[in-house]
Amino acid sequence: MAIVTALRVYAVTGSDAERYFTAALSLSIATLAISYIAVFAALHRLRITPPDVPRPYRIPGGHLSAIVAGGSALLWTVLALGLLVWPPTLPETFAEDRLGFELASMLPLLLLGAGAALFAGRGRQARAPRPARPGGRTESMTGATWPDSSSAAR
Residue 75: its pLDDT value, please? 92
Residue 43: closest CA among 78, 68, 80 = 68
**What domain range includes position 78?**
2-129
Q: Report yes or no on 42 lying in a domain.
A: yes
Per-residue pLDDT at 58? 74
Alpha-carbon gap, residue 61 to 65, rounded angstroms: 5
In a domain, 146, yes or no: no
Residue 49 lies in a domain: yes
Is 34 a member of any domain?
A: yes
Query: Is residue 139 one of the residues assigned to a domain?
Result: no
- What is the total count of domains within the chain? 1
Task: Tell me the pLDDT of the chain (154 aa) as tens digits.
Answer: 667 666 666 666 666 777 778 777 888 888 888 888 888 888 878 777 777 778 777 778 877 888 888 889 889 999 998 888 888 888 888 888 888 888 878 888 888 888 888 988 887 777 767 666 665 555 555 555 555 555 444 4
Tell me the whole-structure pTM to 2 decimals: 0.60
Look at residue 149 and tell me if it is in a domain.
Answer: no
Map residue 50 onto helix, strand or coil: coil
| CA 53 – CA 78 distance, rounded (Å) | 30
pLDDT of residue 154: 46
| Domain presence at residue 144 | no
